[in-house]
């Protein structure tokens, strides 16, 4: 159901005023803002502020325990007196990515982060755990908090009247609530943002498996007016103090778009009942990013915006790994090959226990042959050309032509390959040419395809169920 601006305001006002009952209590959204500091060898945490957001908690209270555990970290909310588990979710973070870069070997940095959960009614403990070498979680920080402390900040909802419901299918407690957060749009450009947000929502909800679960989603849109059009792109001398703080060149990767202004965008977003956030930047240069449980980003006016939106949301929503491996990245190669925790890549350390074995046929060889050498020969030459063109700051239309040529080559190469439709174990994934495998020859997580493979689709549906279904 699509709502007008006027109707959207009425719906949102009703949500603001709703009393959400859970175990006989009213459940608001609570947020713990904290600082995450360290380097490649050590990390520390410190409290910034405990916040009571203005809206009721939009998550699925029927599933308080995270069963998918797709993140590098996980947190638990425990009742202080009884020790009972009240809430848990896994997540990843900018810090978790940064600590794997070369820079983390040289300096310390601090990142602002947040945890959101149903507000407890009495004192509680927060426990953050991190994956160890065996992918098991170990405690890295815990602290006690009192929700009744007068220093708990009570946020208002200053952007409530600026929210548009693009797709509204019901109570946020029973739906996946996606917020499209525009950045770099001036007051005169808000209409442009909304038009683009609606177009990209339609693409997103027409992509399987989201298409089959359209009624499970609410999609909201909000763009706080910027004083100046556009977002930062430091490598070209472009700097903007945009409301969300989105910027290209994150980790010195020209295409990677992130915001480090966690506190700013959280305060803006708290006017909306959201589970997930996609930041749409007012830019046409190819770029985006996605971090599980944090947010995803996409250049809204790039020729490739539809692909960027869906691909990056796959990271943010389902914890999917990148399956490509010839592009330059800021992360250091792992010292040893271990089984990834992401659902769509494997180290194939035990082929007999392939994590997506239920999708494979006995006739499919493991590992699975594919035209790897031909692909790599083309792709490495393409990447060198791409880097040179970016260094020369050529027009974006020229870059788009290069991207089209690359995709046409891949589509043609894969179209005649023997196992093009099989689920198997195709070497090359997770930024590494050797040692990691993806489940299908092609997927939107590998090339600029438009489709998710079967394994990625399964992973997405598991998260949809966690946010919309009763616990089993």
User: What's domain 183-261+274-319's superfamily in CATH?
Assistant: Collagenase (Catalytic Domain) (3.40.390.10)
What was the pLDDT predicted at 123?
Answer: 98
Q: When comparing pLDDT for 1 and 104, which is higher?
A: 104
What was the pLDDT predicted at 331?
Answer: 80
Answer yes or no: are the C-beta atoms of 98 and 251 closer than 8 Å: yes
What was the pLDDT predicted at 325?
Answer: 96
pLDDT over 90 (residue 352): yes
Q: Which long-range contacts (CB under 8 A, 24 or more apart) does 10-17 make?
A: 11/165, 11/168, 12/160, 12/163, 12/165, 12/272, 12/273, 13/160, 15/55, 15/56, 15/172, 15/273, 16/54, 16/55, 16/157, 16/160
pLDDT over 60 (residue 24): no
pLDDT over 80 (residue 12): no
What was the pLDDT predicted at 335?
Answer: 81
What was the pLDDT predicted at 328?
Answer: 81
The mean of the pLDDT values for the chain is 94
Structure confidence by residue, pLDDT tens digits, 287-313: 999 999 999 999 999 999 999 999 999
Task: Determine the angle formed by the axes of helices 190-205 and 305-318, rounding to 10 degrees.
Answer: 70
Share of the chain above pLDDT 90, in %: 91
Assign 471 a pLDDT band (cuts: 50, 70, 90).
Answer: confident
Structure confidence by residue, pLDDT tens digits, 109-153: 999 999 999 999 999 999 999 999 889 999 999 999 999 999 999
User: What's domain 5-155's superfamily in CATH?
Assistant: Peptidase M64, N-terminal domain (2.60.40.3250)
pLDDT average, residue stretch 434-452: 97
pLDDT over 50 (residue 430): yes
pTM of the model: 0.94
Q: Which long-range contacts (CB under 8 A, 24 or more apart) does 460-464 make?
A: 460/209, 460/210, 460/314, 460/317, 460/318, 460/320, 461/209, 461/213, 462/68, 462/318, 463/68, 463/70, 463/317, 463/318, 464/176, 464/209, 464/213, 464/216
Structure confidence by residue, pLDDT tens digits, 45-74: 999 999 999 999 999 999 999 999 999 999
Residue identified by tokens 């060889």 is 365
Looking at residue 255, what DSSP letter applies? T
Answer yes or no: are the C-beta atoms of 147 and 29 closer than 8 Å: no
Domain spans, the chain: 5-155, 183-261+274-319, 345-461
Q: Residue 26 — φ and ψ, nearest 5°?
A: -85, 130
What was the pLDDT predicted at 292?
Answer: 98
pLDDT average, residue stretch 357-371: 97
Structure confidence by residue, pLDDT tens digits, 193-246: 999 999 999 999 999 999 999 999 999 999 999 999 999 999 999 999 999 999
Structure tokens at 393: 């700051």
């Amino acid at each position: 159901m699509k709502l007008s601006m006027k109707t959207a305001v009425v719906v949102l006002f009703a949500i603001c005023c709703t009393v959400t009952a859970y175990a006989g209590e009213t459940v608001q959204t609570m947020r713990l803002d904290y600082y995450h500091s360290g380097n490649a060898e050590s990390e520390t945490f410190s409290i910034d502020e405990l916040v009571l957001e203005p809206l009721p908690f939009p998550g699925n209270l029927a599933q308080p325990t995270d069963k998918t555990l797709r993140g590098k970290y996980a947190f638990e909310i425990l009742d202080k007196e009884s020790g009972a588990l009240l809430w848990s979710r896994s997540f990843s973070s900018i810090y978790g990515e940064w600590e794997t870069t070369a820079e983390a070997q040289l300096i310390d940095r601090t990142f602002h982060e947040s945890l959101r959960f149903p507000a407890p009614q009495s004192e509680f403990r927060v426990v953050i755990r991190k994956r160890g070498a065996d992918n098991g979680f170990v405690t890295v920080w815990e602290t006690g908090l009192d929700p009744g402390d007068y220093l708990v900040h009570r946020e208002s909802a200053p952007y409530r009247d600026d929210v548009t419901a693009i797709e509204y299918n019901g109570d946020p407690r029973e739906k996946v609530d996606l917020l499209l957060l525009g950045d770099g749009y001036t007051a005169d450009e808000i209409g442009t943002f909304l038009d683009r947000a609606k177009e990209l929502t339609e693409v997103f909800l027409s992509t399987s498996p989201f298409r089959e679960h359209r009624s499970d989603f609410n999609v909201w849109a909000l763009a706080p007016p910027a004083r100046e059009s556009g977002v930062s792109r430091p490598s070209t001398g472009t700097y903007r103090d945009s409301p969300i703080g989105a910027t290209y060149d994150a980790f010195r990767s020209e295409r990677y778009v992130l915001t480090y202004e966690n506190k700013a965008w959280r305060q803006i977003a708290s006017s909306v009942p959201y589970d997930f956030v996609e930041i749409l930047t007012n830019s046409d240069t190819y770029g985006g990013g996605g971090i599980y449980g944090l947010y995803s980003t996409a250049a809204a006016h790039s020729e490739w915006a539809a692909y960027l939106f869906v691909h990056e949301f796959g990271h943010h929503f389902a914890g999917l790994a990148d399956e490509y491996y010839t592009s330059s990245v800021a992360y250091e190669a792992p010292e040893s090959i271990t089984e990834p925790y992401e659902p769509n890549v494997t180290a194939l350390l035990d082929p007999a226990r392939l994590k997506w074995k239920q999708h494979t046929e006995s006739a499919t060889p493991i590992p699975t042959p594919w035209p790897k050498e031909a692909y790599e020969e083309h792709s490495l030459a393409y990447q060198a050309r791409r880097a040179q063109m970016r260094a020369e700051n050529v027009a974006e239309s020229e870059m788009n032509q290069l991207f089209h040529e690359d995709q046409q080559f891949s589509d043609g190469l894969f179209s005649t390959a023997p196992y093009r439709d099989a689920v198997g174990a195709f070497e090359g994934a997770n930024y590494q040419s050797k040692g990691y495998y993806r489940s299908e020859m092609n997927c939107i997580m590998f090339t600029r395809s438009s489709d998710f493979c079967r394994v990625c689709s399964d992973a997405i549906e598991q998260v949809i169920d966690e946010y919309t279904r009763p616990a089993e």
